[in-house]
């Protein structure tokens, strides 16, 4: 008794065209976010103080306090807003801000 190789048409039985049908596209929302990172109030800001002094030397008066931070803008694909927020909070806590000396806030826009 010899085994015969199955023919391709027999293997694809049930497929109308004889081809594997592609999966329907999955649409994943794209959320736009901005993370604002700033030094904690108890931390000295030498760059902010230097910029304040430079502004005064340029003739811009009346600036009594100037602190420098950073703004990080990004887009993230996530199935829903809660998951997008979870991912962004993880990034903010562990990558974008130093939790010892910096605070951060998250602005998230729905798609």
CATH of the domain at 39: 3.30.1280.10
Q: Is 17 among the domain residues?
A: no
Range of the domain at 76: 29-109
Q: Is 81 among the domain residues?
A: yes
Rounded mean pLDDT, 14-38: 83
Confidence of residue 18 (pLDDT cuts 50, 70, 90): low
Q: Is 97 among the domain residues?
A: yes
pLDDT of residue 100: 96
- Split into its structural domains, the chain has a count of 1
Q: Is 39 among the domain residues?
A: yes
Give pLDDT tens digits for 36-78.
999 999 999 999 999 999 999 999 999 999 999 999 999 999 9
Contacts for 91 with CB less than 8 Å, ≥ 6 apart: 35
Q: Is 11 among the domain residues?
A: no
Q: Considering Cα of 56, then 41, then 107, then 37, what sign does the dihedral take?
A: positive
Report pTM: 0.71
């Amino acid at each position: 008794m010899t085994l015969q190789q199955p023919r391709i048409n027999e293997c694809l039985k049930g497929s109308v065209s004889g081809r594997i049908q592609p999966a329907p596209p999955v649409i994943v929302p794209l959320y736009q976010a901005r993370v604002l990172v700033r030094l904690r109030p108890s931390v000295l800001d030498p760059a902010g103080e230097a910029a304040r002094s430079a502004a005064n030397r340029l003739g811009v008066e009346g600036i009594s306090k100037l602190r420098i931070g950073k703004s990080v803008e990004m887009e993230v694909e996530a199935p829903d807003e809660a998951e997008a927020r979870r991912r962004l909070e993880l990034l903010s806590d562990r990558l974008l801000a130093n939790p010892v000396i910096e605070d951060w806030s998250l602005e998230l826009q729905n798609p």
